Each structure stands twice: as structure tokens, then as C-alpha cells.
Amino acid sequence: MGGRKSDLVLLDENGIRCDGRKVNETRNVIIKTGVLKNADGSAYIEFGGNKILAGVFGPRDIHPKHMADTSTGILRVRYHMEPFSVGERKNPAPSRREIEISKVIKEALQPAVILEKFPRTVVDVFLEILQADGGTRCAALDAASVALADAGIPMKDMVCACAAGKAGDALILDVNNEEDQAGQADMPIGYMPNLGKITLLQLDGVLTPDEFKKCIELGIQGCKQVYEIQKKALREKYFSNEGNSK
């Protein structure tokens, strides 16, 4: 990793991180679902300082038509950062990074959705990063799963995601922006708890084989915590008395 801000203390002598968390603690996560009127399904997530909106359309007619598959519906994902979401203005055109993240998120959601019943159609997932604060791909994937469920797309499981990594020589859960920039490793994980399957996994940074295994296990713990928050968001919309169901 960069190791740019050498003056920043990532982990103090009491094992407390630069934002006051313990090593195995995630940031505060808030998920709301059914936040958009026009989308078939939607979700809004605040994952620490990340603020992300997810909208799902479909199954619907596909354009361009040649993408249609006669045997199944297809999934399309666009991850996009707003120009104002980061410190320096980001060019609004899709960057190579955004194209890659769109691809890995799509591949993380694909094993969860059942689209065989909707041949020749598409399910579009739009992920708009309103504010980025490290770990946007995990937070976006969390919101995407909830939005897909809200849209009534048949699913085998929800995908929950959380990063684990290494900073200040300790394994940490839910890597924030400072730890991503100056830390030693960042490993985003997407996980389907009911199926025990890892569907998103990337790693930047150096880990020994032993740390690698522990790091995945730590990340999966974080994923499971987020999973409960995802389910709570859906319950609040669909099962509460004063719920504002559409």
C-alpha cells in the first residue's frame, strides 16, 4: 500500500484505531429500503461516511436487443461515483476503476439471483456513490442486495459485504479511507451466509498465509453483522405496522 501519511497513527497503544474503533468493530451501518418512487426496488446505505443509493429496474425489456438471452434474464450493474463524492472533483465519465468494480459487483450478485424465469429480460442495478469514505464497493454491494430483494427479484440468499485488512500490524475489520490509504492490506469480501459462499474477494497488500486465512474469517464475521442490518431494513418496510409499503 501507499504508506503516504506517515504521521497518522493507525493503531494506538490501546488497540484503538484512528476513528476510535476497536480492531474487530465495523463502522455504523444504516440501511433504508424503498427510498425511491420510480425504481422497482431501492435502498440507501450509510456505511460510516459512505452514502450510497441503489436502484433496481426490471426484469424489463433489454436494450440493446442483441444482449438478450433466450434461456435466462441477465443482470447488469453500474457502479458510479458522483463528481462531488471525493476530495478532489472526480471526472463524471466512468473510469477504469468503476468499470472493474461494476464487473466484480455484478459477479458477486449473479450467484444470488434467480433470473431463469425471465428470459430475454434484464435486471438493471444502478449504484450511485454520493459520498465515498473507503469501502464503497462493499457498501454498494450491501445496498444492491437489499434493493434487489425490495424489487421482488427471486434470490437464493442476500449478498452481504464488508472488508477486512491490516493496519498498524494488526488485522482489522471494515477498513476506512485512512486505513486503506496508509494501511498494509485491504480485502473486500462479499458473502452469502445461508450458502456459505464467498462471491466477492479482492486483496491489495501483503499478508502471510496465516494472516490471510484469519483475515477472511474476520471479514466474514463483519459480513454477518451487516446481513442482520440488511434483513432489519427489509423487515422495517414490509413487516412493520406503520410501514410505508408502496
Partner 1 sequence: MTNTSIIDKLKRTKILDLLKEGKRIDGRTLDEHRPLVIDTGVIPHANGSARARLGDTEIVSGIKVQPDRPFPDMGDKGIFICTAEILPLAHPSAETGPPQPDVIELARVVDRGIRESGMIDLSQMVLEKDKSVIGLFADNVVTDHDGNLFDTCSYAAVAAIITSKIPKWEIKDDKPVLMENQESDTPITTIPVSVTMGRIDDFIISDPNLDEWECLDARITITTNSDGNIVALQKGGNNGFTLDQIVKCSEISISSGSKIREIIKQATQSN
- Residue 200 engages partner 1 in binding (rule: CB under 8 A): yes
- Complex with partner 1: residue 44 or 191, whichever CB lies closer: 191
- Residue 205 engages partner 1 in binding (rule: CB under 8 A): yes
As to burial, measured by CB atoms within 10 angstroms (0-12 exposed, 13-18 middle, 19+ buried), residue 170 is middle
- Complex with partner 1: residue 204 or 236, whichever CB lies closer: 204
Distance CA 70, CA 72 (A): 6
Cα angle 133-29-8, degrees, rounded to a multiple of 5: 40
N- to C-terminal Cα separation, the chain: 46
Instruction: Choose, by CB under 8 A, the member of 19, 25, 90, 111 that binds partner 1.
Output: 111
Distance CA 155, CA 113 (A): 4
**Cβ neighbours of residue 102 closer than 8 Å, sequence gap 6 or more:** 77, 78, 79, 94, 127
- Complex with partner 1: residue 9 or 99, whichever CB lies closer: 99
Stretch that binds partner 1, among 26-34, 139-147, 168-176, 204-212 (CB under 8 A): 204-212
Which amino acid, 193? P
**# of chain residues touching partner 1 (CB under 8 A):** 45
- Residue 61 engages partner 1 in binding (rule: CB under 8 A): no
- Residue 225 engages partner 1 in binding (rule: CB under 8 A): no
Q: Is the Cβ–Cβ distance between 10 and 17 less than 8 Å?
A: yes
Which amino acid, 177? N
CA torsion, ordered 84, 178, 79, 75, to nearest 10 deg: -160
Total Cβ atoms within 10 A of residue 230: 23
Instruction: Choose, by CB under 8 A, the member of 4, 37, 63, 65 that binds partner 1.
Output: 4
- Complex with partner 1: residue 32 or 197, whichever CB lies closer: 197
- Residue 209 engages partner 1 in binding (rule: CB under 8 A): yes
Rounded least distance, CB 103 to partner 1, Å: 5
Interface of this chain with partner 1, residues 123 to 182, rule: CB under 8 A:
none
- Residue 110 engages partner 1 in binding (rule: CB under 8 A): yes
Q: Is the Cβ–Cβ distance between 233 and 148 less than 8 Å?
A: no
- Residue 69 engages partner 1 in binding (rule: CB under 8 A): yes
- Complex with partner 1: residue 23 or 68, whichever CB lies closer: 68
Rounded least distance, CB 108 to partner 1, Å: 8
Interface ranges with partner 1 (CB under 8 A): 1-2, 4, 67-72, 74, 88, 96-97, 99-100, 102-104, 107-108, 110-111, 187, 190, 192, 195-209, 212-213, 216-217, 220
